[in-house]
Amino acid sequence: VIDEKPGKEHVQDPTLDYSVVKAPKDKSAPKPVLYEVPVSLRIPGGDFIMASRLQGKLVVAKRKADLEPDGDAVKLSFAGPIGMASLAVVGSNVVLLVPSTGKTEVLGSTWPATSAAVKPAAIAFDDSNAPTDGDRTSVSLAATPDGNVLVGFVDGKAQKHKARLTLLTSDLKSKK
Q: Would you state the pLDDT for residue 29?
A: 66
Average pLDDT, the chain: 83
Residue type, 124: A
Q: Rounded to the nearest 5°, which phi and psi values hold at 46? A: 95, 0
Q: Cα separation of 150 and 95, whole Å?
A: 11
Name which residue leads in pLDDT, 56 or 145.
145
- The pLDDT of residue 125: 84
Task: Sort residue 25 into left (φ over 0), alpha (ψ -120 to 50) or beta.
Answer: alpha
Residue 52 to residue 96: CA distance in whole angstroms: 12
Q: What is the pTM of this model?
A: 0.79
pLDDT in tens, 103-141: 888 999 999 998 999 999 999 888 777 766 778 888 999
- Asked if residue 2 lies in contact with residue 16, where contact means CB atoms within 8 angstroms, the answer is yes
Q: Which of 50, 67, 62, 48 is nearest to 3 (CA)?
A: 67
Closest to 13 measured CA to CA, from 70, 76, 74: 70
3-class DSSP assignment, residue 142? strand
In this prediction, residue 2 has a pLDDT band, given cuts at 50, 70 and 90, of very low
Whole-angstrom CA distances from 5 to 11, 13, 78 are 6, 11, 33
